[in-house]
Chain A
Amino acid sequence: MSRVSVRTLERRTFLKYTFGTGALILGTHVDGWASDADKAAFHPSVYLGIESNGDVIVVAHRSEMGTGARSTLPMVVADFLEADWKRVRVEQAIGDEKYGSQNTDGSCSIRDFVDAMKAAGVTARLMLEQAAARQWGVPAAECAARNHEVAHAKSGRKAGFGELAPLAAKLTAPDKSALRFKPASEYRYINKNVPAAHQQDTINGKGLFGYDASMPGMLIASVEHSPVYGGKLASFDAAEAMKVAGVRAVIAIDRFKEPHNFQALGGVAVLADHTWAAMQGRRKLSVVWDAGVHASYDSDRYREQLIETAKKPGKVVAARGDVEAGLAGAAKTHEAIYTTPLLAHAPMEPPAAVAEFKDGKVVCHAATQNPQAVQETVAAAVGIDKKDVTCHVTLLGGGFGRKSKPDYVAEAAILSKKTGRPVKVVWTREDDVRHDFHHSTAAMYLRAGLDASGRPAAWLQRSVFPSINTTFGDTSGYGMEVEMGMGWNDLPYNIPNHRAENGQALHHLRIGWLRAVANVYHAFAIHSFVDELAHLAGKDPVEYSLGLLGPGRKIEVKPVGMKYWNHDQDQEKYPLDTARLRRVIETVAARSGWGRRAKGNGHGWGFAAHRSFLTYVAIATEVQVEGRAVRIPNMHICVDAGQTFHEDRVHSQMEGACVFGTSLAMLSEISVKEGKVVQSNFHNYRVARLTEAPAKVHVHLIRSDAPPAGIGEPGVPPVAPSIANAIFAATGQRIRDLPLRKGLA
């Protein structure tokens, strides 16, 4: 709690919401989140207000894209406030740096902000109890808040939160040293599976997403982008498009300037009265592009280049012992190359935002994971200060990292400035699949020297992929600290001679981060390779993995040439603890009946375990393979994410991760020919349907007192290797390239 402080506030208007007279308003500041320029000032990340009618308002500064974080955090406030959740309203914050990071990304909403929520709730509760004590002339210690009122047991007096709020508002907030936090046994909402605030609305069809946003008098725009990344607009003919009923204008948007960052791609926009007219008009456009330097990009050839690079020495990012000596002295060596393709995020809601440029300011409504990046990107796009960009955050129809990158909001603002009207930009599915910030393609080379028992005495691993940093102007060709810290320079195995390397690769389209990021390809390679070694040794893969991990202990990760990313958390608080990794493995083995199941006839089980986002996850997967068809009757997933605050949403994130992981393991692939993305929609960019997803996902949650880690992403990485390993167990066929369907005979 040392990082958190709470104060009463004078300011009464937040967002569209203005508190009434007498309201108690608190702001909670989290150290380390204030913008550098304003470190001295008190900038709360969390706002909590209690109206004199008893309404409790919590301003949620995180985006809702399906994790439930936007509701779970206010539930924590309500619990520690002893409020009635039915009387708590969640208001979505606009983008503003005063909140600290709003980038809902990296599985960190709970990790970074739960302490602030607890402190806000307890502080307000203490102030309400003090107010009651003063009113009744009794010691505050004898007054206790419960279910939206404060009671004095000795006299039987009670007063509602609303009645006490004006009195409490005149008190000074207690020092944080006075804050006491109730034990988990007294939680009323935390981990009690209260539905998220947006659940009923989305079931009723009333949830408002970016695609649903509107502003009076707006035009709808559909934008044609260069089919080859970075292509320049040579010429266009709008005559036929303008003939479509409802089309009002056809306007060119300037191409981005390197480095790309989050800028609009540039292109030709068709603006119309309604979406159908805009899309029809776009089909009638005639556009000539100067394709530029990426026109020769071919993803098959590129993959071969990645493999060639991975076979050669790269930059050392982790090392111990003497790998060459270990390999030379080995009884046997084994090597393998794994590859993974480009991926598109493909959230069910394609990118969409509405913006109005007026009097030198922009107001927008956007499905965004990162409203502050919207402010910066839009401001730069239309030449104003970011403080003059107001970004309202809608519900997100999926995000998975795509909606952290607000190029589409910039398009709306640019078009509004050019037309003088509000403009909603709507991306089609084809736009989304082709012009995404794609998840990187990768090749990994692994080589192990095995002793007589089949245990690695030496282990060499090389990873090659175009880095996310290339989108931000990096030309070194190497992965960044964050990507290396995602399952590459932090191998948890007890191997005496070890070296991890990273080779160079440059980008040919926009590379971005997708749910679980570099862990996706690193986990696939490493945990497939461990499975291969286990089978070579004639050992059970679970037993073999536990042997590689060795006794439970905290490993200090010490990479070469960079610090260990560890999600910007110190290793003291969030160590790599093999005891926790062992525990999820042992639990998933026990709960899935691992080792006791029949094999053969195309039936088998596979396993993988991976730590990412500071969370430990093990998966055991059952497959039934018939020819090229793979069914997944059961997937068991065990997770230790430290303390959790909404167990049902932890379960739902794990269930979802198993499906998302199955999509990328079995089905999804972006390929590129002559610089153009081949896929366009769900017929050729495939994601798992109900019949392709695991029929049953069994979630086993480890209840832990460890600091909260992350939930949104860490379920994904072990899925692909667990399926690949299961297919091997079922068929004897080792598939080393994703998506696995292509390797099935």
Chain B
Amino acid sequence: MQLKVNGTNRAFDGDPEMPLLWYLRDLLDLKGTKYSCGLGLCGSCTVHVEGKAVRSCQTRMGSLAGKSVVTIEALNGQHAVQKAWMEASVPQCGYCQSGQIMQAVALLKEKPKPTDQDIDAAMQGIICRCGTYQRIRTAIKAAAGVKA
């Protein structure tokens, strides 16, 4: 099967049951996408498939024929969300932050001016054990240009 990862065409002929997460990390060496729960409970592994945020640990390779996958690496540190993250010094340990950022980017694509309720609904799926939630909210609002 064929798929696109960060704009590059890729062929995959392995186990269709393999989660996208391990394909990205172990086969393509794209280590920015993180494992934390493996059950779609924490969101550390969030990437975009066809522009929508998905949990890559729950996305089987067999479901991705002809699809386009985008990971944190493709943002190149240049995305407005990443700049806002830098400005607010969001990360502590940083491990969950690629998942947080990918979810936030997808949110702003869908809702360029999110309300607090929109942020709650989109971001409550991504756990940060360091507790950076307050700054995540601040950074999303800054990136969206809405009042904090």
Contacts and interface: CB of A to CB of B under 8 A. Distances in A.
Interface string A135-179: 000000000000000000000000000000000000000000000
B131 A276 contact: no
Interface string B116-148: 000110011111111111111100000000000
A349 B95 contact: yes
A422 interface: no
Given A200-B77, A683-B39, A683-B41, A652 B135 contact: yes
Given A65-B93, A276-B22, A398-B93, A203 B34 contact: no
A696 B134 contact: yes
A395 B137 CA distance: 25
A241 interface: no
A701 B125 CA distance: 31
A687 B127 contact: yes
Interface in A261-287: 274-276, 279
A6 to B, nearest CB: 31
Contact of B98 (A205, A429, A693): A205
Contacts of B31: 205, 208, 212
Contacts of B19: 276
Interface string A665-696: 00000000000000001110001111101101
A297 interface: no
Contacts of A682: 37, 39, 41-42, 127
A348 B41 contact: no
Contacts of B97: 202-203
A690 B136 contact: yes
A696 B38 CA distance: 30
Interface string A28-69: 000000000000000000000000000000000000111110
A203 B91 contact: yes
A476 interface: no
A245 B34 CA distance: 23
A204 B127 contact: no
Interface in A192-206: 193, 195-196, 198-206
A205 B37 contact: no
B130 A656 contact: yes
A211 B129 contact: no
Nearest to B61: A276
B89 A681 contact: no
A395 B89 contact: no
B89 A655 contact: no
Contact of A205 (B73, B93, B127, B137): B73
A203 B129 contact: no
Interface string B81-97: 01001100111111111
A207 B91 CA distance: 11
Nearest to A193: B89
Contacts of A428: 38
A656 B92 contact: yes
Contacts of B89: 193, 195-196, 199, 648, 652
A693 B131 contact: yes
Contacts of A657: 131
A605 interface: no
Contacts of B130: 66, 348, 398, 656, 659-660
B22 A395 contact: no
Given A202-B94, A207-B94, A349-B34, A655 B44 contact: no
A362 B14 CA distance: 33
A655 B135 contact: yes
A20 to B, nearest CB: 30
Contacts of B101: 203
A443 interface: no
Nearest to A68: B92
A205 B77 CA distance: 8
B65 interface: no
A29 to B, nearest CB: 30
A653 B32 CA distance: 24
B62 to A, nearest CB: 13
A350 interface: yes
A429 B132 contact: no
Contacts of B22: 274-276
A215 B33 CA distance: 19
Contacts of A399: 93
Nearest to A426: B35
B82 to A, nearest CB: 5
A201 B36 contact: no
A380 B132 CA distance: 38
Q: Which 4 A-B pairs have the closest CB atoms?
A: A205-B32, A202-B94, A659-B131, A397-B95
14 contacts: A202-B97, A220-B26, A348-B93, A349-B95, A398-B130, A429-B36, A429-B37, A652-B135, A656-B92, A656-B130, A682-B37, A687-B127, A689-B125, A693-B134
Interface of B: 14-15, 18-19, 22, 25-27, 31-39, 41-42, 44, 71-73, 75-77, 82, 85-86, 89-98, 101, 119-120, 123-137
Given A206-B32, A652-B92, A690-B120, 20 more contacts: A64-B93, A66-B91, A202-B91, A203-B97, A204-B72, A204-B75, A205-B33, A205-B73, A211-B35, A275-B22, A276-B18, A397-B94, A397-B96, A429-B36, A429-B39, A659-B133, A660-B131, A683-B41, A690-B124, A696-B134
